[in-house]
Structure 1
Amino acid sequence: CPAGTQSGDRIAYTTGSGGDAGDTQITYLEEGRCYAPSTDPSDAPGQDTTGTYPASYWRPGGNRPIVGFRLNPLYGPIPQMALSFERPHTTVTESDQWDDQCPALESEGRCAITGAARCVGGPATKVIDGASVTRACWRYETSLSCQYGAPTDECAPLAAAGCTPNSTVCRQMNPATGTCEVAENTYNCPVAASSAVTARNCPTDVFCIAGSCFNTTYTNDADFARSMSFLEAGREAGVYLDTDNLQVFKGEANRCRDRLLKNCCTSDSAGRGMSNQSMFGVGSRLVFDVLMNSGNREFLYHGMQALLMSGGFSGSFTTYGVTVAINGTALPAGSAVLYAGESVVVAFDPWSLVIAIVIYVVMSAISCDEEEGKLAMKEGARLCHTVGTYCSSCIRVLGKCVSCITHTTTKCCFNSVLARIINEQGRLQVAKWWGTAEGPDCSGFTIAQLQSLDFARMDLTEFYASIVPNMPDVGAMQGGAAGRASNCYYGKGRCQ
């Protein structure tokens, strides 16, 4: 309360009949008001329990704001706890992992160390993931002496076998010095009259073409498939960027039904043959825009734009109801324009697509609808991720489902295997869920989420197979080359 006033809960007065019965009660003025001392008996009576003011009467001096709280004596002491707050901070743990490529060169036996390792980078401080890291040396260099161009003599076994030189032809000339670097020597070798000898002196680890020979013993580059995957991911993210929502690698929700007499949740391998390259003759064989929802303009437009705008294409073509007209070419009757630019128009004829799909569906699954037929082809192309299954139709008794007769499975499908793999493994990193079976979430990644993805933690083995389905059989190639050389050096001394 203001100076010169007292709180009502500190001004007490006695009420009651008094006498021997002692029927009295101490009462306080209003707790929520402040009172000023008074000498007028018409004001409220009372004594200041704190002894601050000696007055016996009090007049109201205004309301008192109530702050804080008052202990309840019925429950005793109130327990207390101490709270502490630690400001957000980042703890950096440093560990070094050196990438030493020198032992690999030494192990092949063609290089030898000629000097001690010397530092060629440092001391320096570098910022790694936002943290400053200081090292006395960041890179060491070791000098090696490698025998790349050591001369080899493949004719020595022939001379040792008693063969005599016949002729010499230079197969490779050094243009700078004019000296012969690779010479082909022809030998005549003695053969017993009563025997036929077939010999070959072609090393299995050397491949020669047009007079140039290459060592095939080196292992394949293990990073090739990963590098190609990263390049394709960047290309697809740039082509199919949703500029309205700023999302990449988005999909679309599809569903299929499993009924009592027919299961429409199947996989059709025909979908593997419906890539952009297969359908249009050009474009990527890793992307399947034609299998995506025909009403989704973004997949059709972005895919066609990347396919045609920079290729000098002129004219028009139609496939599965989608018509692309370049440089003012007329559109088929009944087509609806999906996009019209300065030099390209993308139109869609729903009836053509329906007829094409229905013909296929009727031939393969009579009781399944168009969407389920397309979903089967998407599954065949490995473009879909199953979100969940729920009961969409059941037999009810008294309003309660007693037997489910139709199960519906929802899936998120994408226009490439890589987009599906990035969603399956990238969503785990950014805590992005797939939604529910009744309401799947097939949206893509925001730009911030994409930048936070660690592609090095993703298993892209399945996509590697789509880049190079069948790796070349090096053994078969070498065997075939060796088989064609049935007579090496013996006889006329030439490999046939």
Structure 2
Amino acid sequence: MKQATRSLLQGLLLSCLSASVLAASMDASNQEGINAGKSADGTTSADPNGYFDNYSADAPQRGYYSGPTQTSSNIDVKGQTELSGSDLGQTARESYVNNPADKLSYDSDMMKYSDEIRENANAITGVNGSQCVAQELNKTTWTTHRCEMATPLSQSCTRKATIVTTGSYEEYGTQLVLNARDVTGRKLDNWWMQYDFVVPEDGTISSGTWEFLYPREPSYHGSRLDYSIQAFGQTIRTKINYSGTLSIPAQKVTQGQVISVLFRYNTDGHYESGRDGTMNSLANGTQVLRITFPMQAVRDTVTAGIEWTNSCPADMGDAVKMSEVCSDPGGTRSVTVGGKAYSLYSDCWGYTTQWNVFEDDTNTCRAYIDNPNCSEGTRTCTQKIGNLCVYSQLTYQCAHTVKSTGYVCGSEFYCSDGSCSAMQAGQNQNFEAAVSQLAALAAAGKDFAGMDPNQVTAFTGKAMACRKSAAGFSNCCKSGGWGQSAGLAHCNTEEKEIGTGKEKKLVVKVGSYCSKKVLGVCLQQKEGYCVFDSKLARIVQEQGRRDQLGISFGSGESPDCRGIKVAELQGIKFDHIDFSDFYDDLNSNIKLPDQDALNQRITSDIQNSLKSGD
């Protein structure tokens, strides 16, 4: 018991010692802070170099801030410019717009069959259960399909006004000249004359010179009479053709300040005529009364104006201007430079403009996108505007699963129907693809039959164009809705034919171009197409001529829809063409015999055979 008590006391003692040491340390730190505070006199300032690495007092971003009185800034315009113009910004936008998200569908047959295999693993491998277990077998094959997809692109651009100043305040040397001839004198009491001078600009003047001259006779000094000059609190008495120094302390003068100089002819008779004669002589230059001061003036060359900055996130090219609204209301705004405020008025300080850069609703990939058994393979951009892809050619890979039933007995599988052999062949026995290839060759043969193979061509199309992207104008290049949309009533016959051809999958888009431009601004765009008579013609032209042989369809303004020559047709690999768009037409034209008629024929044949004894 005593040992335990002793241990407890030792522990408490050590705790107290530790607490005392900690308290002493805190007291020392506290005292250090108090001493530091007392030593500060209120005029010290922190040195940023001591706190921040690579500190610069003249960072490039300083240009975005023009002081606390700045009311307009173009930092948002600069940011948008960086986003659309810098390599990093372009890469980010291109990656976001052009790269679609990966699609993983849990509704696909492959995912469902994978779950079934996992759930029935024991039965498949014969680990448990009866000797023979009924089992369903699945075999998946893949087909590749080509399609095209457009991405409409509209851009919102801004035009922002900011007040900018040019010039500066600069000090320069000049003179302040007070010449009596330059102003009109006025008469005072006691025959004095007063001349008032207005200071033209701010500055500092110092001691100068005075002059009273008679230019016609520089050596003449007059009679016994003299003249009095009063300026800057001093009085000077002089005769004609004398000059001297007027000593004054250096002093500031301001623009608009009035400096008065008094002058008197000290005659002893004829006072009025002497004064009036002197005023006339000073006015016409016969006599000269002039005081000149050296002056250090400040020249203000600062002028303010409104500068407009355009910001668009993409290359507008032949974009069509759809609308423009004032997004920053007008009024008077000011900036302060060198302590002086400059105010300017604008009806609007910022506009937001909507541009239609690219308008197209082509999407022949919809069936594959909606099919959970299809996944995107490759995507090739075939048309770009700036760094943004607006038209792409895609390939999709689609899974086709064949089912077969049978029994698993031990390690052997026994097929219970005739589909196992097709599964073992490892190929998709696509009857439609084979018939489509034969149909394409047959259609070409009809064009070539009885004609000179060097002159005739097959699958010839027709060049057409439609209007789109015009302010206040419906798109006459739509891919659907031609039977329902009243807004398309004004479209012409050719445009309606293109629309109908799109719905029937008979057209190939060649390109777009600006068809109407005024003062460098595109007012209307058009699209050029090749329109064919059948899906077979379009498929062979598109995938055979363009994709395999690399023969272009020309330009949107001048489509080349010529037929395919015999030599060119021989170079096309028909087993590489995707005819899936033709399958619906093929299946709809297959006519099966009427079941009742077939039954009657079989019954009739049997009865006839019985009657004849066969």
Rg: which structure is higher?
Answer: 2
Q: Which has the higher strand share?
A: 2
> How high is the TM-score relative to the length of structure 2?
0.25
Higher relative contact order (CA 8 A, sep 6+): 2
Q: Which has the higher helix share?
A: 2
